[in-house]
Amino acid sequence: MRTLVVEDERRLCNIIKRGLIEEGYAVDAAYNGEDGGYLTESTPYDFIILDIMLPKKDGIEVCQELRGKKVNIPILMLTARDTVEDRIKGLDAEADDYLVKPFAFNELLARIRALLRREGRLKTPRLQVGDLSMDTLTREVWYGERNIELTSSEISKYI
């Protein structure tokens, strides 16, 4: 699964990115709304994690622009704005979900799985080319009957 994390707080962005990579996701990062919007036009993502308070262009504007262009990628707003009005504003901008910081990483993962399930985007966990296969859930790689040991970073290049 290929994801984009748009978060201006670089430390948090890197923590999210590293955690998702360890879970088998391929992750790109942008640190402002303008770059995040550009990346979504040039790369096919399975979902987006989008902060609201971003430099250059806020997350609400990015979300509205994507939906205006008929981009149906699931979007999870991840933000420190926690009032009911803020959540309504994010969801009315056509975000699919809204998670308030600070958050438990396991909850973020569960929400991602739920979004992908809802969208029917959960893909088969097995990738195969000829005799080479990879189970993206267990991260096992096989060539024929032989198991090939790969590091997490090697595997994340291909998922």
- What domains can you pick out in the chain, each with its CATH number? 2-118 (3.40.50.2300), 126-156 (no CATH)
Distance in angstroms (rounded) separating the CA atoms of residues 72 and 56: 23
Length of the chain: 159
Structure tokens belonging to residue 82 = 């926690």
Which ranges constitute the DSSP H helices of 59-104? 59-68, 84-92
DSSP state of 24: T
pLDDT at 86: 84
pLDDT at 58: 93
Distance in angstroms (rounded) separating the CA atoms of residues 127 and 148: 14
Structure tokens belonging to residue 131 = 């005799």
Query: 27-68: per-residue pLDDT in tens?
Result: 999 999 999 999 998 888 989 999 999 999 999 999 999 999
Mean pLDDT of the chain: 86
Q: Is 38 helix (H, G, I), strand (E, B) or coil?
A: helix
pTM for this model (two decimals): 0.74
Query: 71-125: per-residue pLDDT in tens?
Result: 889 999 998 988 899 888 888 889 999 999 999 999 999 999 888 887 655 455 5
pLDDT at 7: 96
